[in-house]
Structure 1
């Protein structure tokens, strides 16, 4: 539905102010390393730093690529790479809440080699936060956290924030006396199967908050419930038109989108706003720690209630017909329309505020041209002013080609996975092949020049499903109708 120019200008300036306020806190993912997770045995690294050009910056000297696309055959480990990053984020966000006292760590090591079960699993992320590089990582086995560390690199020099081993916690020389006392208390209450970073962040330790906040607020994964994010955006007047425009420009025949709120959803939203306000007041007035703890729990409960209640909201699409406009529910839309609707809210959120959006199998249900245009949104400074990043896995080889005469993906934005003879995943970049800028990467990939494609024999594939003995020898008629 159209809005006045004055209202649109106000919305534009509101988004601009929001971007300016958040810019200082924007972080970028520089690399991710993992070992001994599902099909990943030996350490694999996904690097998001530019190889051929300057890349994009988070506002400082730290630079990264805006998109990283991982290609490979089925069951080669693309989804397992995403799962490893998601598992790391889940541990950071909630190990202190989810851990069972006296229990171990539920992990998924490489099981095709007996050593995988015995060896620890490793997860390491290199981040650029506020102009400073951070390296955070940990190793775990079935019993608990074996090691954990956080380093920062102000002015390019390594500084230890903390190192955790079986012998205890070592703090860097820059950590003050007061912080040392607090870390000593935190160490005493950190269980063996809980990350120190999670507990220290809950204790509001400034030294760890930038990294913790990146994992909790700037790393986002597309899931089947992401439609709720789009529905929330529809409820905001300044973004409704942008959601509609995105769907309209995808040539889906959609003229407008209407959100019908349920009474339960409206009540849950009011309750959430009230509890959040009470928490802010308690923190500002230096209330007792137990009271603040209880209010934080109340906020989490209200958030959960709000998320569940929002599922009762209903979305209707306004589409044109010969008889005029018709209102249709989301459920009757095509899989592609539903997928793009799920994407719309998270896309606008990450492009508006920065961060990393992770999408496994982005080409599922989406037309290749739509996928290519989504990639282009992240590569364009006009649509991605906050330096957001898109990490995706895909089978869509057309993304290695061109759109409008320009490469959809640059050479240092392409990665491949394949499995070795032992069933272990290997991750490697296109840049290892030193491709020319003008070579036909789509054709070369499909032709097997880069590897990471399934080797399928036409004869053996057909023979595997060929009917034995003909239709009259024990083959039910229904099977061949």
Structure 2
């Protein structure tokens, strides 16, 4: 599970910024439903990042996706690698453009608390370390640091870590090399990024989720649960039909992706939504099906995909990052899903991190103050990420009865667009009275 993620000098984040899924101290509200309780710490099941468009909230997810790409692009021994590393520094200040991007992640995996740090530019890894965090004394597994004056790397390797320095190039992570040679700790971390971290973008065309639809076709129980979830969310879909299709591979596609000469077709799963069909008197005639990608609305297709992703995550204990959670959903459905994320009965080991600008989701009946985060930009276009927990009362304790939405709309927490209405008096579009 994700404990913390920190970014520095990445896109709109100039300074080191930390997002945490660890519960804040002293909070008891929704403890039994909204948190996982471990001997070493308590973690949140769900967090929501609020902020206006352009504030940088998506860059938190992009940072996690970039770290995943950095780790997993070199995870396979026969991988081609990439000529340049994904260095995307803060470009609003000339002192940052040539500086390293830095990521730090803390993960709770198999009862072990890992801390992994990496710093890099577009050409090479400049710093990398892996540690196991413990109550008494942290255990460092390795440190790798580039010495610019000597143009070489200095390593510190624990006795538990094998020496593969001669196999490690400047643009390859030592963590990835350890993974290739079956180091247990490296495998745990790389597998979490490969299998347990899922980032849901804003494209909800069903054809882009073939791997999930394949699971839906193979697992009748999963499909039945998806239909049940759709019905609970007030969709009239009574079933989903999944049909295997074959499509001939165009020649230029075969050449570009290096298909074998024998491969003439690709197979994929197509989805049809099934509805009850009635006559003019309202009598049930039977069922009819629609090709989902052709006839269903964006919202319905999104709900089908989200239902599959959500139930898959709940079943497999994944950490799910979802962009623009509120788009294409009715508010009631969004709140229903958030309640499901935080349920004691259904969510045993999954985390759901959402970003949105839907103020109505600031619901203190669903969320704790430590589950709510805000992002805003300062005058230098630097994004700032902070928790609602930071806004404490006189006793330095968060108020459990705070009216989140009203106070947010009043600007109490920041991260709210300020519109200068006086510009209307100054003809800011330079319109003439004759137009």
Bin for the TM-score computed over the shorter chain: 0.7 to 0.9
Q: 1:60–1:131: 8 Å Cα contact kept in structure 2?
A: no
Residue 252 of structure 1 aligns to a residue whose secondary structure is coil
Q: Give the equivalent residue in structure 1 for 2:156.
A: 170
Structure with the higher fraction of residues in helix conformation: 1
Q: Give the equivalent residue in structure 2 for 1:93.
A: 72
Q: 2:196–2:318: 8 Å Cα contact kept in structure 1?
A: yes
Q: Give the equivalent residue in structure 1 for 2:389.
A: 431
Residue 184 of structure 2 aligns to a residue whose secondary structure is coil
Task: From 283, 308, 326, give the equivalent of 1:345.
Answer: 308
Q: How does 1:291-330 map to 2 (within 5 A)?
A: 309=266, 312-323=268-279, 324=285, 325-330=287-292
Give me the whole-angstrom Cα distance separating, in 1, the residues matched to 2:259 and 2:339: 38
Give me the whole-angstrom Cα distance separating, in 1, the residues matched to 2:35 and 2:345: 13
Give me the whole-angstrom Cα distance separating, in 2, the residues matched to 1:381 and 1:226: 32
Q: Give a deviation string over 1:156-194, Cα, whole Å, max 9, x none.
A: 42001111112332112x42xxx53xx2xx221211011
Q: Are 1:262 and 2:245 counterparts?
A: yes
Task: From 51, 68, 71, give the equivalent of 2:50.
Answer: 71
Give me the whole-angstrom Cα distance separating, in 1, the residues matched to 2:317 and 2:259: 27
Give the superposition deviation at 1:213: 1.4
Residue 216 of structure 2 aligns to a residue whose secondary structure is helix
Give the superposition deviation at 1:154: 4.4
Q: How does 1:11-22 map to 2 (within 5 A)?
A: none
Inter-CA distance 87–463: structure 2 relative to 1 (3 Å threshold): farther
Residue 123 of structure 1 aligns to a residue whose secondary structure is strand
Inter-CA distance 399–229: structure 2 relative to 1 (3 Å threshold): farther
Q: Give a deviation string over 1:268-296, Cα, whole Å, max 9, x none.
A: xxxxxxxxxxxxxxxxxxxxxxxxxxxxx
Structure with the higher fraction of residues in strand conformation: 2
Q: Are 1:45 and 2:45 counterparts?
A: no
The number of residue pairs the alignment matches comes to 391
Q: Give a deviation string over 1:109-160, Cα, whole Å, max 9, x none.
A: 1001011112100000011112221101100012210000100024542001
Residue 384 of structure 1 aligns to a residue whose secondary structure is coil
Q: Give a deviation string over 1:12-71, Cα, whole Å, max 9, x none.
A: xxxxxxxxxxxxxxxx11110000111110000001111124663375433211111110
Give me the whole-angstrom Cα distance separating, in 1, the residues matched to 2:185 and 2:330: 44
Gaps of 5+ in 1: 1-27, 266-299, 474-481
Give me the whole-angstrom Cα distance separating, in 2, the residues matched to 1:157 and 1:129: 18
Q: Give the equivalent residue in structure 2 for 1:220.
A: 198
Give me the whole-angstrom Cα distance separating, in 2, the residues matched to 1:301 and 1:124: 38
Q: How does 1:253-402 map to 2 (within 5 A)?
A: 253-263=236-246, 309=266, 312-323=268-279, 324=285, 325-331=287-293, 332-385=295-348, 387-401=349-363
Inter-CA distance 126–226: structure 2 relative to 1 (3 Å threshold): farther
Q: Give the equivalent residue in structure 2 for 1:449.
A: 412
Give the superposition deviation at 1:445: 0.6
When normalised by structure 2's length, the TM-score is 0.84
Give the superposition deviation at 1:253: 1.7
Task: From 220, 234, 253, give the equivalent of 2:216.
Answer: 234
Q: CA RMSD in A?
A: 2.5
